[in-house]
Amino acid sequence: MSSPYPHMLAPLDLGFTTLRNRVLMGSMHTGLEERGDWDRVAAYYAERAAGGVALIVTGGMAPNKEGGVFPGAAGLFTDQDIANHRKVTDAVHAHDGKIAMQILHAGRYAYGPDCVSSSAIKSPISPFPPRELDEEGIEKQIRDFVTAAVRAREAGYDGVEVMGSEGYFLNQFLCLHVNKRTDRWGGSYENRMQLPVEVVKRVREAVGPDFIIIYRISLLDLVPNGQTFDQVIQLAKAIEAAGATILNSGIGWHEARVPTIATSVPRAGFAWVTKKLMGHVSIPVITSNRINNPDTAEEVLSGGNADMVSMARPFLADADFVAKAAAGKGATIAPCIGCNQACLDHTFSGKLTSCLVNPRACAETELSYAPTAAPKTIAVVGAGPAGLMTALVADQRGHKVTLFEKDSRLGGQLNMAREVPGKEEFHGLVHWFETMVAASGIEVRLNTEATVDALAGFDEVIVATGVTPRDPGIPGEDRANVLSYIDVLRDKAPVGKRVAVVGAGGIGFDIAEYVTHQGTSPTLDPEEWRKEWGVGDPAEVPGGLLEPAPPAPAREVTLLQRKAEKPGKRLGKTTGWIHRASLAARQVRMLGGVTYDAITDEGIVLGGGDKGPQLLPVDTVILCAGQEPLRALADALIAAGQSVHVIGGADVAAELDAKRAINQGARLAAAL
């Protein structure tokens, strides 16, 4: 049978070595390295190698203390470090995989007082102004890159990736945005590009010819005074001449105000930029960003956009991505939904990286779904994310699972999330759950309200009945001009032109997004999306940075909350700014510190300000005031003497999200 993914699965001959396919696992910080649990690091990468990926790039390793992303960031500084990394490379090689170590010098993004850069210009995302390096300081940085590469080779790595994009150290020399120098490292582009070229040249000299050097090149800076595309091509050619084996695409500095990997970014939304480089160099070129399934990867490659694809987060979601695609089981690949909730949000809050759809990511040695020695009959009530994950893991372990759902379909609250523009990836997540359940031994009873009697006789009963909207008790809330988010998202109730949203949590933001959109979601219309966020062609505008031109909002919306803090403050660490910017672009007014005095036919009367009660004239009020656990069944079971496990929103509704629900379900099922 011919493969559905001939381009993705084709080997890539690098001359001195061959990659088994065109898939690179991109660099992701896990946090495991800093904790020193190297068996766990090795197990994490080994599972990905066993899953068929051709080449893995590790999380960024600091070349020196001043270049570490944060104080104490891991690097190859000592012989013990080399021995630790040996565990990783041996484990990957045992599965015929290849692995390169990323050398990441953060420059002025290093979160510490010793940070250094081309010029002493503080970044907007760090409180620490960098020290401008002198000639000797620059030479030291180059030497440290070289030393890191040599040590990586000693540790058994197949190569290194030199991080030259995303606004990190080398990128800071390339762009006038930061580089204000007047010596031989500043001024003309030839001068500014000397540093990355020198680093690659010296690394190549030190490691010899048969060692992979990937250079991550910033194709689209997305900051003021970014590189023109002629400059990018000039750099790419010089980097090739300096000895790089592969060029990997970097898109956007971390301080850029354009989302580059969030779920609302169109799939493969930046592959067109990589394509512009194709033909200008003779070494392979990799594209990246928002490629999360084999069909998209194949389309990108067959369309001549790149020689290889890089995916990072999709390998957290499913270690077996390549093996499943190769076996014609693409639909069983757990999809990365681009949410950042368990990966980047964790990284930036100092927690271990994991994955919303795969709680085993980075927990491979700790969370096992091994077959049970004592199969049980298990009833799971509720087919939202918590119930579905419990059912799947329990079934995988050999238990006999019956899944009750009162609705006519699986998915629970995920079915509402997927209605929101920019959250289309939730369709894929529901589809994956449906596929996995259909392929399992789970007995599914849809349209079935589970009763105490029906649940008698099961060895274990798991209640995942979810949540119900909180009643805010506002006088007048039973009027016809008041809707709940369920009326809007699920039942498609008509919404007026002027809207007040009560509650500015995750759902309030989603509703504001939903009612201000009209027509095709920009996530599904890349040209519209680029207009909205101001992404231009770097051949026409330096750095690809344009003035954003968002569409006119479909409705006039005011988003309300009682807390006197900035609305949206508690949204995801790496995505909250995107939600806030998106709503600001749609002219959504955000008001904190209000009280809700009454809802009338004219609108909602707000208190809390100096001027006394004020009418906010609106046609529709949408209640998004949080949620309460739905525990009636759990309480009835307990009263009847049945022992139950209560999980997900039915357990705790506050701050409920799919990450907690899925994690709780998986861990419970692993323990049954």
Q: How far is the CB of 404 from ligand SF4 (least distance, A)?
A: 27
Nearer to ligand SF4, 232 or 357 (CB): 357
**Which residue's Cβ lies closest to ligand NAP?**
505
> Nearer Cβ to ligand NAP, position 319 or 339?
339
Q: How far apart are CA 308 and CA 288, in angstroms?
A: 9
Residue 64 binds to ligand SF4 (criterion: CB under 6 A):
no
User: Does residue 342 touch ligand SF4 according to CB under 6 A?
Assistant: yes
For ligand SF4, which residue of 281, 343, 656, 658 counts as binding (CB under 6 A)?
343
Q: Which of 5, 109, 157, 168 is catalytic?
A: 168
Identify whether 168 is a catalytic site residue. Answer: yes
What is the contact mask toward ligand SF4 in residues 255 to 294, using x (rule: CB under 6 A)? ----------------------------------------
Question: Which amino acid, 277?
Answer: L
Pick 166 or 424: Cβ nearer ligand NAP: 424
- By CB under 6 A, tell whether 357 contacts ligand SF4: yes
Residue 97 or 649 having the CB closest to ligand NAP? 649
Binding mask 288-327 for ligand SF4 (x = CB under 6 A): -------------------------x--xx----------
Q: What span, in angstroms and rounded, lies between the C-alpha atoms of 566 and 497? A: 25
Compute the distance between CA of residue 508 and CA of residue 85 in angstroms, rounded to an integer.
45
Give the integer Cα–Cα distance in Å for 481 and 474.
13
Name residue 100's beta-bridge partners: 57, 159
Q: How far is the CB of 627 from ligand SF4 (least distance, A)?
A: 21
| Interface stretch with ligand SF4, choices 182-190, 209-217, 330-338, 588-596 (CB under 6 A) | 330-338
Out of ligand NAP, ligand SF4, none, which partner does residue 561 contact, by CB within 5 to 8 A per kind? ligand NAP
- In the list ligand NAP, ligand SF4, none, the entry touching 122 (Cβ below 5 to 8 angstroms by class) is none
**CB-nearer residue toward ligand NAP: 151 or 631:** 631
| Residue 339 touches ligand SF4, criterion: CB under 6 A | yes
Query: Out of ligand SF4, ligand NAP, none, which partner does residue 582 contact, by CB within 5 to 8 A per kind?
Result: none
Map residue 453 onto helix, strand or coil. Answer: helix
Q: What is the token pair recorded at 458?
A: 């099961």
Helices 385-396 and 658-671, packing angle to 10 deg: 30
Pairing status of strand 98-103 against strand 55-57: parallel
CA dist 329 to 20, 320, 397, 432, Å? 19, 10, 20, 11
Give the C-alpha separation, 366 to 172, whole Å. Answer: 40
The yes or no reply on residue 336 touching ligand SF4 (CB under 6 A) is yes
Among the residue ranges 2-10, 140-148, 184-192, 339-347, the one whose residues contact ligand SF4 (CB under 6 A): 339-347
Contact 459, 645 (CB under 8 A): no
Report yes or no: 199 and 213 within 8 Å, Cβ to Cβ. Answer: no
Residue 337 is a binding residue for ligand SF4 (CB under 6 A): yes
Rounded CA-CA distance 179/173 in Å is: 5
Piece of 353-361, 382-390, 454-462, 496-504 that binds ligand SF4 (CB under 6 A) = 353-361
Nearer to ligand NAP, 151 or 659 (CB): 659
Residue 340 binds ligand SF4 (CB under 6 A): yes
- The C-alpha atoms of residue 476 and residue 111 are separated, in whole angstroms, by 50
The answer to whether residue 55 forms part of the interface with ligand SF4 (CB under 6 A) is no
Least Å distance, CB 582 to ligand NAP, is 11
Q: What angle, 0 to 180 degrees and rounded to 10, lies between the N-to-C axes of helices 385-396 and 425-438?
A: 40
Strand order in the sheet with 620-623: 482-484, 620-623, 498-502, 556-560, 589-591
Q: Which residue number, 389 or 644, has a Cβ lying nearer to ligand NAP? A: 389
| 529, 517 contact by CB (below 8 A) | no
Q: Both tokens of residue 138?
A: 């620059």
Q: Name the binder of 338 from ligand NAP, ligand SF4, none, CB < 5-8 A by kind.
A: ligand SF4
Nearest to 423 by CA among 534, 572, 298: 572
Residue 196 and residue 171: Cα distance in Å, rounded?
Answer: 8
Q: Which residues of 502-539 are buried (b: 16+ CB within 10 A; e: fewer)?
A: bbbbbbbbbbbbbbbbeeebbbeebebbbbbbbbbebe
499 makes contact, choosing from ligand SF4, ligand NAP, none, with CB < 5 to 8 Å by partner type, with none
626 binds, among ligand NAP, ligand SF4, none (CB under 5 to 8 A by kind): ligand NAP
Residues that bind ligand NAP (CB under 6 A): 470, 472, 502-508, 510, 561-563, 571-572, 624-627, 655-657
Q: Please list the alpha-helical segments (H only) found in 103-252.
A: 135-154, 169-174, 189-192, 194-207, 229-242
Helix axes 79-93, 135-154, angle to 10 degrees: 50
Using rule CB under 6 A, residue 341 touches ligand SF4: yes
Give min distance, CB of 178 to ligand SF4, in A.
29
How many angstroms separate the CA atoms of 43 and 92, rounded? 9
Among 355, 462, 512, 559, binds ligand SF4 (CB under 6 A): 355
Tokens standing for 103? 């050398």
Nearer to ligand NAP, 122 or 427 (CB): 427
- Among ligand SF4, ligand NAP, none, the one that 507 touches (CB under a kind-dependent 5 to 8 A) is ligand NAP
Q: Which is nearer to ligand NAP, 74 or 583 (CB)?
A: 583
- Among ligand SF4, ligand NAP, none, residue 445 binds (CB under 5-8 Å by kind): none
Q: Which is nearer to ligand SF4, 247 or 430 (CB)?
A: 430
For position 666 contacting ligand SF4 by CB under 6 A, the verdict is no
Min CB(653)–ligand NAP separation in Å: 8
Q: Are 667 and 481 in contact (CB under 8 A)?
A: no
Q: If binding is defined by CB under 6 A, does position 444 make contact with ligand SF4?
A: no
The tokens describing 345, both together, are 């949000």
Q: Out of ligand NAP, ligand SF4, none, which partner does residue 357 contact, by CB within 5 to 8 A per kind?
A: ligand SF4
**Among ligand SF4, ligand NAP, none, what does residue 8 contact (CB within 5–8 Å per kind)?**
none
- Closest by Cα among 252, 246, 311 to 277: 246
Residue (223 or 337) nearer to ligand SF4, CB: 337
Contact 381, 59 (CB under 8 A): no
Query: Is residue 133 a contact point for ligand SF4 (CB under 6 A)?
Result: no
Q: Does 25 bind ligand SF4 (CB under 6 A)?
A: no
Which of ligand SF4, ligand NAP, none lies near 627, with the C-beta cut-off 5 to 8 A by kind?
Answer: ligand NAP
Environment class of residue 272 by beta-carbon count within 10 Å: exposed (0-12), middle (13-18) or buried (19+)?
A: middle
If we measure between CA atoms, which residue out of 618, 599, 625 comes closest to residue 485? 625
| Residues designated as active site | 168
Where do contacts with ligand SF4 occur on this chain (CB under 6 A)? Answer: 313, 316-317, 336-343, 355-357
